[in-house]
Every structure is written in C-alpha cells, then in structure tokens.
Structure 1
Amino acid sequence: MFTEERLDAIMQCLRDQGTVKVKDLSAKFKVSADCIRKDLKVLENQGKLRRAYGGAILSQDFPLSRDFVDRRSVNVSQKRMIAQKAYDCIREDETIFLDVSTSNILLAKLLAGSGRRLVVVSNMIDILQALSASPYITAIGTGGTMVRTVNGFFGAAAIDVIKQYSFDRAFLGSCGVDMVDGSITTLGVEDGLTKRAVLSSSRHKYIVMERDKFYFNDSFRFAHFDDIDAIITDTVPDEGTVNALRAANVEIL
C-alpha cells in the first residue's frame, strides 16, 4: 500500500470509529508503529486529526462539506436511518418544527406518506414542498430572509413567526458538536439565532445529524447539551463520546 492510500485509510478509520490507536493501525497495515506515528503527524499538520496519547482523534477543525446541494447526495442511507428514527418519535396531532436539514427532507417525505394529522412548521422550502403532498398535514412556512445556499429562511422575520408557536417537538440540524465544552454548532449567526428561537418554543428538542458530526464543529454555538433532549444519529459514536453525552443527560437515538 502506498503512503497516500494508507493516509486515506487512516482517515476512514477515524470517521468510522472517532479515534484510532497506533498499535491497532500498525497491525492493520502491517507497518511499524514509528511509520504510523509519522502518518499521524502528516495528517495532523494537514489539520485533519489531533494526536493523542497512543493514537489520534479527528480534529474538531476539519471542515465538513458546507454546500447544501452537494450534501443532499452524501450519506443518503445514514440520513434515511435518522429520518426513520425521528419519524418514530412523532405522534398524531402534534405540532412540530422541521429545521433546515437534508435528513429532515427525508423525514418530511415519511410524514407526507403516513396519513398522520399534524401541524408542521418549517423554514425550508424543500420540506414544505414534500409536506404539500399530504392532505392531512397543515404545513406552515416561516418566511424570512431567503438563503439560497440552503433553500431556506433565517433571520428576524422567521424568528418572529417561530415565537408565536409552541412546538411539541423540534428537529434541528447541526454542523457538528464540540465535545470539549458540550456545545452544538452551526455555520452562521442568522441560522444559529433562528435555531435558538426554535429551542425556546419547543417541549421536546432533538438534534438530527450523522455520526461524523460528533467529531466536527463550526463557527457559531447555538446550544449546549443541557438545552436538548436527544441526538438522533445513524450509528452510535465512540465510547468516550457516548459517556460524555450520558453524563450530560442527552439521549442517543
């Protein structure tokens, strides 16, 4: 195996597991521990991981793909799992909020085909379009400042509408979490303030995100672990992350 191939494989192990050990990688790739340490140093210099005692973890600063249109076709099977788990949380006649999220688009499609009677408020055009297929769902758009990159609405006008509601459940997207201080992040202030308004208006609060996002964060902290009830994800993260979330009374679904 060439060096670049091994570096790519190490990164895949990190994305799958959240953490790697030098001795395990050495055995896996049949190279010396010193060779693996050099590989980890190269990846750390690229900002992709942070070396720790005996191994490494993904760097919180390694960016996720931010282009929303691109992300619709990424991790589709994982997002379907997340959408199904979120769907299972929802009860007949509830009022819910669906935030800008590619997983929430899939959730909206499940709801539209379910025959459930619901009131669904959303700030995302794709979600409202999906919900329009159901005669049983009252779909309400927030309006606000249109952000083309996410095909949704943020800002003061959206927040004013959100504040008028009392949601039984809210399903919020995220760009990642910071396990150091227990914060939940997103890309920008307008999105973050809109999400905060949703949290303030909701009884049950869920973050919907793929497992990879446990090892990334972004620029704006819109919530902390004690502000939410659960994180809905495709597969359980590493043991250290699970223990930290349980200590913060955050359920992992």
Structure 2
Amino acid sequence: MEERRRKILQELEEKGKVRVNELSAELGCSEVTIRNDIKCMERAGLLIRTHGGALKIEETPQKKYSAESIYRNADKKKAIAACAYDTIEERDTIIIDDTSTGFYLALYIKQHPEKRIAVVTNSLLVGNELAGLDHVELYMVGGPVGGYLASTMGDEAIADISRFHVDKAFIGVHGINFDVGITSTASAQTQIKQAVMKVADQVIVLADSTKFGGGYLSVICPLNEIDQIITDGEVEEEYISRARQEEIPLVIA
C-alpha cells in the first residue's frame, strides 16, 4: 500500500493530476483500491480529490492578493480549472474573465507550459500571473479599472473585447438558475460577460457547486446559449438530473 501511494504522489508531482482508471491499469489493482487510496491521501492533506482522479496540491497565493473570494472553495476551483484546461487545444485563443475560478485557470496554465496558447483577459490578476510566459501570448483588455477583483470594465472594455475573436471563452458566474439562465450581480459585469460571449466560438462556464440555485439580480443569458458548464463533484444530484433533462452539457471535475 505504501509503495502504491508513493507512486501516486510521484505521478502527481510529474503530471499535476492523475486519473483513477489510468492508475488502476498502471499499478495493476482495482479502481476501488485506487479510490480508497486517494480518499485516505486527501484526508492526510497529500492531494486534492476530484471526480475520477486527483490533483497535486499547489501552493495557494494566500498573501499575494487581498480579495477573499479567491481563497473561498479553493480546492473546488482548482479541480474545475484543471478540467477546463483539458478543453484547451494547442494554439487555441481563449478569453478568461475576471472571476476567482478564472484566476485558478490562469494559475494552471502558468504551471503547465505544454500547450502554447493566446489569452485575452480583462482581469489584472490573470494578466499578472500570465505576463512574460514563453507559452502564453497575452492580450489585455483596456479600459477603466474597477471591481472587487481588479479588472477593466465599462464601454471602453466592451469595445476592446469586440475587436477580438477567440476559440473559447471561460466565464464565471454569480449563479446558475435553471429557470432563467446564468446570472450575475451587477450590470457592469453582465455587460462584460455578454461582450465576451459574442466573440467566442465556444462559451464554457466555470462554476463551483455553491453557485447552483438561489436568487439573482441580473441574467447574463439563457442556459441554451452555453456550450458547457464545468463544476465540482459536490454538485447536488437534483441539478445533475435537471441538466440531463434539459440537455445542458454539465461536466463534473
């Protein structure tokens, strides 16, 4: 058992993430055994368990930024970010908006230079993490800076976004309401997200399991305008069933 778990940690150190089925085949044991190993290792603080695998524990930038929302549900957001990274192809152009889950996607991109991509963002935090990387061609959206997570917004930012065209947009949301769509808290954020959606071939929502249900102030768009929602393994079964019934692509990280 100790040798098996040492091998799991070695794989995590080398790859950043592992899959249960791959470990089962490589180590010659059942998937149930690997899942039990991963559960025990998570309790020991050695890894982050995800749906179907595990992630390496990366250092969290606890003192680098003051915004509390970055660190809330961090493990869920890291798992979602890793899953989102799998949707990105070599030489893709993407937009990452100004949300905490998008920030973790930027960190994951920073830590995994195996794909060369172009990134457009209005988030100063995302831009700060991705600036100067050899594998990232970074474009910052202009405009006045504001918001809880510092970002450009307003008419100038919207006009600047409209000049781009990207393969994929990764956006965060305040909530997912199956009756009305994806929601936001303010009109300025809503307008930015709507502008981002217009210039993307695919729109992927990054939302941890706490974002499902609840009230809303502003509706960004109906759910049928979204290509995919990526969430974590703690999403309630009623939302999984609702997504299946309404044919909404829901991916569990």
Do both share a fold (TM > 0.5)? yes
Separation of aligned partners in 1, 2:144 and 2:245: 38
Inter-partner Cα distance in structure 2 for 1:153 and 1:220: 19
The residue aligned with 2:94 is 96
Residue 148 of structure 1: CA displacement?
A: 4.1
The aligned counterpart of 1:167 is: 166
Q: CA deviation at 1:114?
A: 2.0
Distance in 2 of aligned mates of 1:200 and 1:225:
15
Indicate yes or no: 2:141 matched with 1:147.
no
Deviates more, 1:242-251 or 1:97-106: 242-251
Query: Which residue of the other structure, out of 112, 115, 124, is the alignment partner of 1:114?
Result: 112
1:185 aligns with 183
In structure 2, C-alpha distance between the alignment counterparts of 1:220 and 1:145, rounded to whole Å: 22
Matched with 2:82 is 84
TM-score normalized with structure 2 length: 0.69
- Structure with greater Cα Rg: 1
SS across alignment from 1:199: helix
Where do 5+ consecutive residues of structure 2 fail to align? 1-65
Q: C-alpha separation between the residues in 1 aligned to 2:249 and 2:84?
A: 13
Give the CA deviation at 1:133: 4.5
1:69-98: CA deviation from partner (whole Å, max 9, x where unpaired): 111121111111011011111011010000
Look up the equivalent residue of 2:170 and give its one-letter code.
F
Give me the whole-angstrom Cα distance separating, in 1, the residues matched to 2:180 and 2:147: 30
Q: Which amino acid in structure 2 is aligned with residue 220 of structure 1?
A: S
Query: Are residues 160 and 177 of structure 1, via their aligned partners in 2, closer, same or farther at CA, if it must alter by over 3 Å?
Result: same
In the TM superposition, residue 151 of structure 1 has moved relative to its aligned partner by: 0.6
Give 2:249's aligned residue. Answer: 251
TM-score, normalised on structure 1? 0.69
* Change over 3 Å in CA distance of 1:118–1:221 after alignment to 2: same
Once the two structures are TM-superposed, the CA of residue 144 in structure 1 deviates from its matched residue by: 1.7
- Distance change >3 Å, CA 100–CA 129, structure 1 → 2: same
The answer as to whether partners of 1:225 and 1:248 remain within 8 angstroms in 2 is: no
* Structure 2 residue identity aligned to 1:247: Q
1:164 maps to amino acid: R
1:230 alignment partner in structure 2: 228
Query: 1:230 offset after TM fit, Å?
Result: 1.1
Amino acid at match of 2:146: V
Q: Is the 8 A contact 1:236 1:242 kept in 2?
A: no
- Residues 245 and 251 in structure 1, CA contact (< 8 A), matched pair in contact too: yes
- Displacement of 1:239 in angstroms is 3.0
Q: CA deviation at 1:139?
A: 0.8
SS in 1 for 2:119: strand
Please, which runs of 5 or more residues in structure 1 have no aligned partner? 1-67
Residues 231 and 251 of structure 1 are in contact (CA less than 8 Å); yes or no, is this contact kept in structure 2?
yes
3-state DSSP class of the match of 1:215?
Answer: coil
Instruction: Quote the residue 2:6 is aligned against.
Output: none
Q: Is the 8 A contact 2:180 2:219 kept in 1?
A: no
- Report how many residues are paired: 185
Equivalent position of 1:126 in the other structure: 125
Structure 1 pair 248/167, CA: closer, same or farther in 2 (3 Å)? farther
2:163 & 2:147 partners in 1: Cα distance? 25
